[in-house]
Amino acid sequence: MDEVDLQKPIITTIAFDADDTLWRNEDVFLSTQQYFVEMLSSYHSKEYILERLNEVQISNLSNFGYGIKGFTLSLIETAISLTEGRITGYEVHEIIQLAKQMLAAPVHMLPGIEDLLRSLKGKCQLMVITKGDLLDQEGKLARSGLSEYFDWYEVVSNKKVANYQKVFESLQLTPSEVLMIGNSLRSDVLPVLDAGAHALHVPYHTTWSHEQVTDEELKQYPDIPSVSSASEIENWIRNHFQLSGEVRS
């Protein structure tokens, strides 16, 4: 056991984002999106199709939320709009089949994640805070084989300050004793810091444009901690915090 250092802040709970933090996810969306672009390539340019799809997705978030189902409805709406209603029933069926394939896709864990969770288990509470469709996210957790490592699994409609505060309050967590780890600055880092907790950024190789933040926004958050992979997370934690399970033991 490492020597206890009470000079470091104590962390009782480490929360992980799921998609593109524990396992690959955006790649599945990009693959489907590419197929969709090819389907409509006789109507418009790739750039215009992607631009319009992104606009429709963002406008639909308040109606359908995040996840594959909302994405599928946005694909269908975009296809109808860009073809001026000429898209066929067969092509709509193809889009629906793509969605079913996405929902059943194998879950590919990111390198080092299971080793990290195995090492942290028992040293503090572990949880997942993710957004999206409940059925989809629960299915991915089950297929990942990681559920045994987590004490809680929270699926929220969005990741704003109020969402985090509600989770902390419902689980009676002290924000200053919580560390959130995730790939999205907009969803996993900035609102967590605003809620009074700690956050660590672990970038993924690709991020949906809606999740990106501007340099102007980042000026309010100097020195956001970041590591490049799961293999670096535990050393970073030990350099900055003391885990509650080790303090008790």
Percent of the chain with pLDDT over 70: 96
- Compute the distance between CA of residue 245 and CA of residue 242 in angstroms, rounded to an integer: 9
- Compute the distance between CA of residue 151 and CA of residue 120 in angstroms, rounded to an integer: 12
Under-70 pLDDT residues of the chain: 1-6, 247-249
| Contact yes or no for 202/181 (Cβ under 8 A) | yes
CA angle 41–81–207, rounded 5-degree value: 65
CA distances from 105 to 18, 75, 137, 144, 232 (A): 15, 18, 12, 11, 28
- Compute the distance between CA of residue 249 and CA of residue 232 in angstroms, rounded to an integer: 24
In this prediction, residue 246 carries a pLDDT of 81
In this prediction, residue 7 carries a pLDDT of 81
Token pair listed for 187: 């969803």
- Compute the distance between CA of residue 39 and CA of residue 119 in angstroms, rounded to an integer: 46
Q: Provide the H-helix boundaries in 65-189.
A: 68-82, 89-104, 113-120, 134-144, 161-170
pLDDT in tens, 43-89: 999 999 999 999 999 999 988 988 899 999 999 999 999 999 999 99
In this prediction, residue 1 carries a pLDDT of 40
In this prediction, residue 4 carries a pLDDT of 56
Among 108, 115, 107, residue whose Cα is nearest residue 230: 115
**What amino acid is encoded at 202 in this protein?**
V
| Contact yes or no for 195/175 (Cβ under 8 A) | yes
**Which domains are present in the chain?**
10-23+108-248 (3.40.50.1000), 27-104 (1.10.150.240)
